[in-house]
Structure 1
Protein backbone atom coordinates (compact mmCIF):
# COMPACT_ATOMS: atom_id res chain seq x y z
CA UNK A 1 0.00 0.00 0.00
CA UNK A 2 2.88 2.35 0.89
CA UNK A 3 4.57 1.46 -2.41
CA UNK A 4 1.38 2.32 -4.32
CA UNK A 5 1.14 5.73 -2.64
CA UNK A 6 4.78 6.46 -3.37
CA UNK A 7 4.37 5.62 -7.06
CA UNK A 8 1.29 7.83 -7.23
CA UNK A 9 3.21 10.73 -5.73
CA UNK A 10 5.95 10.62 -8.39
CA UNK A 11 3.82 11.78 -11.34
CA UNK A 12 2.19 14.42 -9.13
CA UNK A 13 5.59 15.75 -8.15
CA UNK A 14 6.73 15.68 -11.77
CA UNK A 15 3.67 17.65 -12.85
CA UNK A 16 4.27 20.17 -10.07
CA UNK A 17 7.93 20.60 -11.02
CA UNK A 18 7.05 20.87 -14.69
CA UNK A 19 4.52 23.54 -13.93
CA UNK A 20 7.06 25.50 -11.93
CA UNK A 21 9.63 25.03 -14.63
CA UNK A 22 7.23 26.21 -17.33
CA UNK A 23 6.31 29.24 -15.27
CA UNK A 24 9.96 30.10 -14.70
CA UNK A 25 10.77 29.55 -18.35
CA UNK A 26 7.84 31.68 -19.49
CA UNK A 27 8.88 34.48 -17.17
CA UNK A 28 12.41 34.48 -18.55
CA UNK A 29 11.16 34.19 -22.08
CA UNK A 30 8.68 36.96 -21.53
CA UNK A 31 11.35 39.20 -20.05
CA UNK A 32 13.71 38.51 -22.89
CA UNK A 33 10.96 38.92 -25.41
CA UNK A 34 10.06 42.36 -24.08
CA UNK A 35 13.55 43.61 -23.32
CA UNK A 36 14.97 42.96 -26.78
CA UNK A 37 12.42 44.97 -28.77
CA UNK A 38 12.44 47.69 -26.09
CA UNK A 39 16.19 48.12 -26.37
CA UNK A 40 16.13 47.94 -30.16
CA UNK A 41 13.18 50.29 -30.62
CA UNK A 42 14.93 53.62 -29.93
CA UNK A 43 17.70 53.02 -32.50
CA UNK A 44 15.22 51.84 -35.11
CA UNK A 45 13.02 54.87 -34.47
CA UNK A 46 15.98 57.23 -34.69
CA UNK A 47 17.08 55.72 -37.99
CA UNK A 48 13.87 55.50 -39.93
CA UNK A 49 10.74 55.24 -37.81
CA UNK A 50 8.71 57.88 -36.10
CA UNK A 51 8.53 60.22 -39.08
CA UNK A 52 6.31 60.88 -42.08
CA UNK A 53 6.55 62.56 -45.47
CA UNK A 54 5.84 65.97 -43.95
CA UNK A 55 8.94 65.61 -41.76
CA UNK A 56 11.02 64.77 -44.83
CA UNK A 57 9.61 67.72 -46.77
CA UNK A 58 10.19 70.05 -43.82
CA UNK A 59 13.86 69.07 -43.61
CA UNK A 60 14.45 69.12 -47.36
CA UNK A 61 12.94 72.59 -47.72
CA UNK A 62 14.31 74.15 -44.53
CA UNK A 63 17.92 73.25 -45.39
CA UNK A 64 18.13 75.47 -48.52
CA UNK A 65 15.97 78.06 -46.77
CA UNK A 66 18.49 78.26 -43.93
CA UNK A 67 21.42 78.25 -46.37
CA UNK A 68 20.07 81.35 -48.06
CA UNK A 69 19.57 83.07 -44.71
CA UNK A 70 23.21 82.36 -43.87
CA UNK A 71 24.28 83.68 -47.27
CA UNK A 72 22.40 86.90 -46.50
CA UNK A 73 23.93 87.04 -43.03
CA UNK A 74 27.43 86.70 -44.51
CA UNK A 75 26.75 89.73 -46.72
CA UNK A 76 25.79 91.74 -43.65
CA UNK A 77 29.15 91.12 -42.02
CA UNK A 78 30.89 93.11 -44.77
CA UNK A 79 28.19 95.50 -46.01
CA UNK A 80 25.98 96.49 -43.06
CA UNK A 81 26.48 99.84 -41.35
CA UNK A 82 24.40 99.17 -38.24
CA UNK A 83 26.00 97.21 -35.38
CA UNK A 84 22.51 95.90 -34.56
CA UNK A 85 22.10 94.49 -38.07
CA UNK A 86 25.55 92.91 -37.94
CA UNK A 87 24.75 91.38 -34.55
CA UNK A 88 21.42 90.05 -35.78
CA UNK A 89 23.07 88.52 -38.82
CA UNK A 90 25.65 86.81 -36.62
CA UNK A 91 22.89 85.40 -34.41
CA UNK A 92 21.02 84.07 -37.45
CA UNK A 93 24.13 82.30 -38.75
CA UNK A 94 24.94 80.88 -35.31
CA UNK A 95 21.44 79.43 -34.90
CA UNK A 96 20.76 78.14 -38.38
CA UNK A 97 24.11 76.49 -39.14
CA UNK A 98 23.65 73.75 -36.50
CA UNK A 99 20.01 73.32 -37.55
CA UNK A 100 21.17 72.55 -41.10
CA UNK A 101 23.48 69.88 -39.69
CA UNK A 102 20.66 68.35 -37.63
CA UNK A 103 18.17 68.40 -40.51
CA UNK A 104 20.76 66.75 -42.77
CA UNK A 105 21.40 64.04 -40.17
CA UNK A 106 17.69 63.30 -39.90
CA UNK A 107 17.32 62.98 -43.67
CA UNK A 108 20.29 60.61 -43.81
CA UNK A 109 18.80 58.52 -40.99
CA UNK A 110 15.45 58.44 -42.76
CA UNK A 111 17.06 57.33 -46.02
CA UNK A 112 15.98 60.54 -47.77
CA UNK A 113 17.95 62.87 -50.04
CA UNK A 114 19.86 65.73 -48.47
CA UNK A 115 19.59 68.81 -50.74
CA UNK A 116 22.91 69.67 -52.32
CA UNK A 117 24.25 73.20 -51.91
CA UNK A 118 22.92 75.46 -54.63
CA UNK A 119 19.58 73.66 -54.96
CA UNK A 120 16.22 74.63 -53.62
CA UNK A 121 15.42 71.24 -52.19
CA UNK A 122 13.71 68.21 -53.68
CA UNK A 123 11.17 69.37 -56.22
CA UNK A 124 11.94 73.00 -55.48
CA UNK A 125 15.05 73.81 -57.49
CA UNK A 126 15.38 77.52 -58.11
CA UNK A 127 13.72 78.24 -54.75
CA UNK A 128 10.24 78.01 -56.20
CA UNK A 129 7.52 76.85 -53.85
CA UNK A 130 9.27 77.79 -50.61
CA UNK A 131 7.82 80.63 -48.59
CA UNK A 132 10.02 83.66 -48.14
CA UNK A 133 12.91 82.67 -50.41
CA UNK A 134 14.67 85.52 -52.20
CA UNK A 135 14.87 85.43 -55.97
CA UNK A 136 18.21 85.57 -57.77
CA UNK A 137 17.48 89.19 -58.65
CA UNK A 138 16.74 90.11 -55.03
CA UNK A 139 19.97 88.50 -53.89
CA UNK A 140 21.86 90.41 -56.57
CA UNK A 141 20.33 93.67 -55.36
CA UNK A 142 21.30 92.87 -51.78
CA UNK A 143 24.87 92.07 -52.83
CA UNK A 144 25.10 95.44 -54.57
CA UNK A 145 23.93 97.48 -51.58
CA UNK A 146 26.10 98.94 -48.82
CA UNK A 147 25.74 100.90 -45.61
CA UNK A 148 22.32 102.19 -44.60
CA UNK A 149 20.80 101.08 -47.91
CA UNK A 150 22.01 97.55 -47.25
CA UNK A 151 20.65 97.61 -43.71
CA UNK A 152 17.16 98.48 -44.89
CA UNK A 153 17.19 95.97 -47.74
CA UNK A 154 18.55 93.24 -45.47
CA UNK A 155 15.93 93.83 -42.78
CA UNK A 156 13.04 93.95 -45.25
CA UNK A 157 14.18 90.80 -47.03
CA UNK A 158 14.99 88.89 -43.85
CA UNK A 159 11.58 89.70 -42.39
CA UNK A 160 10.03 88.15 -45.48
CA UNK A 161 12.46 85.23 -45.24
CA UNK A 162 11.67 84.61 -41.57
CA UNK A 163 7.93 84.79 -42.16
CA UNK A 164 8.32 82.05 -44.75
CA UNK A 165 10.28 79.90 -42.32
CA UNK A 166 7.62 80.40 -39.66
CA UNK A 167 4.90 79.32 -42.10
CA UNK A 168 6.86 76.17 -43.00
CA UNK A 169 7.56 75.43 -39.34
CA UNK A 170 3.92 75.78 -38.34
CA UNK A 171 2.94 73.31 -41.04
CA UNK A 172 5.48 70.88 -39.60
CA UNK A 173 4.03 71.39 -36.12
CA UNK A 174 0.54 70.51 -37.33
CA UNK A 175 1.26 67.74 -39.84
CA UNK A 176 4.65 66.29 -38.91
CA UNK A 177 5.19 63.10 -36.93
CA UNK A 178 8.79 63.22 -35.70
CA UNK A 179 8.86 64.66 -32.15
CA UNK A 180 12.38 66.02 -32.69
CA UNK A 181 11.50 67.70 -35.98
CA UNK A 182 8.34 69.18 -34.50
CA UNK A 183 10.35 70.52 -31.56
CA UNK A 184 12.78 72.20 -33.93
CA UNK A 185 9.81 73.66 -35.81
CA UNK A 186 8.51 75.08 -32.54
CA UNK A 187 11.91 76.59 -31.77
CA UNK A 188 12.01 78.18 -35.23
CA UNK A 189 8.56 79.70 -34.74
CA UNK A 190 9.57 81.15 -31.37
CA UNK A 191 13.02 82.46 -32.28
CA UNK A 192 12.24 83.80 -35.72
CA UNK A 193 9.00 85.46 -34.64
CA UNK A 194 11.03 87.31 -31.99
CA UNK A 195 13.63 88.28 -34.60
CA UNK A 196 10.90 89.59 -36.91
CA UNK A 197 9.73 91.91 -34.14
CA UNK A 198 13.31 93.06 -33.55
CA UNK A 199 13.85 93.75 -37.26
CA UNK A 200 10.59 95.67 -37.54
CA UNK A 201 11.71 97.86 -34.64
CA UNK A 202 15.08 98.47 -36.31
CA UNK A 203 13.32 99.61 -39.48
CA UNK A 204 11.47 102.24 -37.45
CA UNK A 205 14.66 103.79 -36.14
Structure 2
Protein backbone atom coordinates (compact mmCIF):
# COMPACT_ATOMS: atom_id res chain seq x y z
CA UNK A 1 0.00 0.00 0.00
CA UNK A 2 2.78 2.35 0.92
CA UNK A 3 4.44 1.77 -2.43
CA UNK A 4 1.21 2.48 -4.24
CA UNK A 5 0.68 5.69 -2.23
CA UNK A 6 4.24 6.81 -2.83
CA UNK A 7 3.92 6.24 -6.56
CA UNK A 8 0.60 8.05 -6.62
CA UNK A 9 2.08 10.95 -4.67
CA UNK A 10 5.06 11.12 -7.03
CA UNK A 11 2.78 11.10 -10.03
CA UNK A 12 0.70 13.93 -8.60
CA UNK A 13 3.81 15.95 -7.76
CA UNK A 14 5.18 15.38 -11.23
CA UNK A 15 1.91 16.50 -12.79
CA UNK A 16 1.85 19.61 -10.61
CA UNK A 17 5.45 20.40 -11.57
CA UNK A 18 4.69 20.05 -15.29
CA UNK A 19 1.57 22.22 -14.95
CA UNK A 20 3.54 24.88 -13.08
CA UNK A 21 6.27 24.82 -15.71
CA UNK A 22 3.70 25.17 -18.49
CA UNK A 23 2.04 28.05 -16.68
CA UNK A 24 5.36 29.82 -16.26
CA UNK A 25 6.17 29.27 -19.93
CA UNK A 26 2.80 30.68 -20.92
CA UNK A 27 3.39 33.72 -18.74
CA UNK A 28 6.80 34.15 -20.31
CA UNK A 29 5.26 34.09 -23.78
CA UNK A 30 2.61 36.63 -22.79
CA UNK A 31 5.42 38.83 -21.58
CA UNK A 32 6.95 39.06 -25.01
CA UNK A 33 9.63 36.48 -24.10
CA UNK A 34 11.74 39.13 -22.35
CA UNK A 35 12.51 36.71 -19.53
CA UNK A 36 14.49 34.45 -21.83
CA UNK A 37 16.06 37.09 -24.09
CA UNK A 38 19.43 38.67 -23.51
CA UNK A 39 19.62 42.20 -22.15
CA UNK A 40 20.62 43.50 -25.58
CA UNK A 41 17.66 41.86 -27.26
CA UNK A 42 15.36 43.05 -24.49
CA UNK A 43 16.67 46.56 -24.96
CA UNK A 44 16.07 46.37 -28.73
CA UNK A 45 12.56 45.03 -28.11
CA UNK A 46 11.88 47.86 -25.69
CA UNK A 47 13.10 50.44 -28.20
CA UNK A 48 10.93 48.98 -30.95
CA UNK A 49 7.93 48.73 -28.64
CA UNK A 50 8.15 52.26 -27.22
CA UNK A 51 6.45 53.89 -30.19
CA UNK A 52 2.93 54.24 -31.52
CA UNK A 53 1.16 54.77 -34.85
CA UNK A 54 1.63 58.55 -34.60
CA UNK A 55 5.42 58.11 -34.37
CA UNK A 56 5.35 56.00 -37.55
CA UNK A 57 3.13 58.53 -39.31
CA UNK A 58 5.42 61.37 -38.22
CA UNK A 59 8.54 59.72 -39.66
CA UNK A 60 6.80 58.53 -42.84
CA UNK A 61 5.41 62.01 -43.50
CA UNK A 62 8.36 64.11 -42.41
CA UNK A 63 10.94 62.25 -44.54
CA UNK A 64 9.42 63.27 -47.92
CA UNK A 65 8.59 66.68 -46.44
CA UNK A 66 12.25 67.21 -45.54
CA UNK A 67 13.40 65.83 -48.90
CA UNK A 68 11.40 68.47 -50.73
CA UNK A 69 12.89 71.18 -48.51
CA UNK A 70 16.35 69.89 -49.44
CA UNK A 71 15.48 70.03 -53.15
CA UNK A 72 14.37 73.63 -52.72
CA UNK A 73 17.50 74.48 -50.70
CA UNK A 74 19.84 72.98 -53.31
CA UNK A 75 18.30 75.22 -56.00
CA UNK A 76 19.38 78.30 -54.03
CA UNK A 77 23.10 77.59 -54.57
CA UNK A 78 23.16 78.86 -58.17
CA UNK A 79 19.82 80.68 -58.46
CA UNK A 80 19.56 82.92 -55.40
CA UNK A 81 20.94 86.46 -55.55
CA UNK A 82 20.90 87.12 -51.82
CA UNK A 83 23.71 85.78 -49.61
CA UNK A 84 21.19 85.61 -46.76
CA UNK A 85 18.91 83.34 -48.79
CA UNK A 86 21.87 81.11 -49.65
CA UNK A 87 22.85 81.00 -45.98
CA UNK A 88 19.33 80.06 -44.95
CA UNK A 89 19.23 77.31 -47.60
CA UNK A 90 22.50 75.96 -46.22
CA UNK A 91 21.03 75.88 -42.70
CA UNK A 92 18.03 73.93 -43.99
CA UNK A 93 20.31 71.34 -45.61
CA UNK A 94 22.53 70.93 -42.55
CA UNK A 95 19.55 70.43 -40.22
CA UNK A 96 17.24 68.30 -42.32
CA UNK A 97 19.57 65.87 -44.10
CA UNK A 98 20.70 64.18 -40.84
CA UNK A 99 17.09 64.11 -39.61
CA UNK A 100 16.05 62.18 -42.73
CA UNK A 101 18.71 59.55 -42.00
CA UNK A 102 17.66 59.33 -38.36
CA UNK A 103 13.95 58.90 -39.18
CA UNK A 104 14.75 56.30 -41.85
CA UNK A 105 16.63 54.37 -39.17
CA UNK A 106 13.61 54.47 -36.88
CA UNK A 107 11.32 53.08 -39.57
CA UNK A 108 13.79 50.26 -40.28
CA UNK A 109 14.04 49.34 -36.58
CA UNK A 110 10.24 49.34 -36.31
CA UNK A 111 9.84 47.13 -39.38
CA UNK A 112 8.02 49.94 -41.20
CA UNK A 113 8.44 51.16 -44.77
CA UNK A 114 8.81 54.77 -45.96
CA UNK A 115 5.57 56.30 -47.15
CA UNK A 116 4.58 54.25 -50.24
CA UNK A 117 4.28 55.90 -53.63
CA UNK A 118 5.61 59.23 -52.43
CA UNK A 119 6.82 61.58 -55.13
CA UNK A 120 7.00 65.32 -55.61
CA UNK A 121 3.40 65.75 -56.72
CA UNK A 122 1.99 63.07 -54.42
CA UNK A 123 3.18 64.87 -51.33
CA UNK A 124 1.04 67.95 -51.85
CA UNK A 125 -1.60 66.58 -49.48
CA UNK A 126 0.75 67.10 -46.54
CA UNK A 127 0.84 70.52 -44.86
CA UNK A 128 3.15 72.93 -46.66
CA UNK A 129 4.18 70.56 -49.44
CA UNK A 130 4.62 72.14 -52.87
CA UNK A 131 2.95 70.65 -55.93
CA UNK A 132 4.88 69.76 -59.07
CA UNK A 133 3.97 73.04 -60.78
CA UNK A 134 5.26 75.06 -57.81
CA UNK A 135 8.58 73.23 -57.89
CA UNK A 136 8.75 73.73 -61.66
CA UNK A 137 8.31 77.49 -61.31
CA UNK A 138 10.99 77.65 -58.62
CA UNK A 139 13.42 75.73 -60.84
CA UNK A 140 12.90 78.26 -63.67
CA UNK A 141 13.33 81.34 -61.48
CA UNK A 142 16.59 83.14 -60.70
CA UNK A 143 17.88 86.26 -59.01
CA UNK A 144 15.56 88.34 -56.87
CA UNK A 145 12.53 86.56 -58.33
CA UNK A 146 13.94 83.29 -57.06
CA UNK A 147 14.67 84.80 -53.64
CA UNK A 148 11.09 86.00 -53.21
CA UNK A 149 9.58 82.78 -54.49
CA UNK A 150 11.93 80.61 -52.42
CA UNK A 151 11.26 82.50 -49.19
CA UNK A 152 7.49 82.55 -49.72
CA UNK A 153 7.37 78.82 -50.49
CA UNK A 154 9.78 77.84 -47.70
CA UNK A 155 7.77 79.78 -45.13
CA UNK A 156 4.68 77.80 -46.11
CA UNK A 157 6.74 74.61 -46.14
CA UNK A 158 8.14 75.29 -42.66
CA UNK A 159 4.68 76.13 -41.31
CA UNK A 160 3.53 72.72 -42.49
CA UNK A 161 6.48 71.00 -40.81
CA UNK A 162 5.81 72.87 -37.57
CA UNK A 163 2.18 71.72 -37.67
CA UNK A 164 3.25 68.09 -38.24
CA UNK A 165 5.84 68.29 -35.45
CA UNK A 166 3.30 69.84 -33.07
CA UNK A 167 0.96 66.91 -33.69
CA UNK A 168 3.83 64.52 -32.91
CA UNK A 169 4.58 66.36 -29.65
CA UNK A 170 0.93 66.00 -28.64
CA UNK A 171 0.20 62.43 -29.74
CA UNK A 172 3.56 60.69 -30.18
CA UNK A 173 5.18 58.28 -27.72
CA UNK A 174 8.75 57.60 -28.93
CA UNK A 175 11.21 59.74 -26.94
CA UNK A 176 13.69 60.53 -29.75
CA UNK A 177 10.81 61.43 -32.10
CA UNK A 178 9.31 63.78 -29.51
CA UNK A 179 12.74 65.38 -29.07
CA UNK A 180 13.18 65.82 -32.83
CA UNK A 181 9.67 67.27 -33.13
CA UNK A 182 10.57 69.81 -30.46
CA UNK A 183 13.78 70.71 -32.33
CA UNK A 184 11.85 71.12 -35.59
CA UNK A 185 9.32 73.46 -33.99
CA UNK A 186 12.06 75.58 -32.40
CA UNK A 187 14.40 75.78 -35.41
CA UNK A 188 11.82 76.22 -38.13
CA UNK A 189 9.80 78.80 -36.18
CA UNK A 190 13.01 80.84 -35.90
CA UNK A 191 13.70 80.41 -39.61
CA UNK A 192 10.13 81.50 -40.47
CA UNK A 193 10.77 84.73 -38.53
CA UNK A 194 14.08 85.22 -40.36
CA UNK A 195 12.48 84.61 -43.77
CA UNK A 196 9.63 87.04 -43.06
CA UNK A 197 12.23 89.69 -42.23
CA UNK A 198 14.03 89.03 -45.53
CA UNK A 199 10.68 89.53 -47.31
CA UNK A 200 10.24 92.82 -45.44
CA UNK A 201 7.46 91.46 -43.24
CA UNK A 202 7.43 91.87 -39.47
Q: Aligning the two structures, in what range does the TM-score lie when normalised by the shorter sequence? A: 0.7 to 0.9
Aligned to 1:172: 168
Verify the 8 A CA contact 2:58 2:164 in the aligned structure 1.
Answer: yes
Aligned to 2:21: none
TM-score, normalised on structure 2?
A: 0.77
Match of 1:204, SS state, is: coil
After TM superposition, the runs of 4+ consecutive aligned structure 1 residues lying more than 4 A away are: 33-40
- CA deviations 1:10-39 (Å, max 9, x no partner) are xxxxxxxxxxxxxxxxxxxxxxx9897766
Identify the match of residue 143 of structure 2 among 123, 128, 147. 147
Say which one has the larger Rg. 1
Counterparts of 1:10-159 in structure 2, within 5 Å, are 40-46=41-47, 48-115=48-115, 119-120=118-119, 126-159=122-155
Q: Which runs of 5+ in 2 are unaligned?
A: 1-33
Separation of aligned partners in 1, 2:188 and 2:45: 32
Identify the match of residue 159 of structure 2 among 160, 163, 173. 163
Please provide the CA RMSD for this pair: 2.2
Verify the 8 A CA contact 1:165 1:188 in the aligned structure 2.
Answer: yes
Q: How far apart are residue 89 of structure 1 and its match?
A: 0.2
Separation of aligned partners in 1, 2:171 and 2:200: 36
Q: How far apart are residue 43 of structure 1 and its match?
A: 1.9
Separation of aligned partners in 2, 1:120 and 1:51: 26
Q: Which runs of 5+ in 1 are unaligned?
A: 1-32
Q: How far apart are residue 45 of structure 1 and its match?
A: 2.1
Aligned to 1:4: none
Match of 2:49, SS state, is: coil
Name the count of aligned residue pairs: 168
TM-score, normalised on structure 1?
A: 0.76
Verify the 8 A CA contact 1:73 1:90 in the aligned structure 2.
Answer: yes
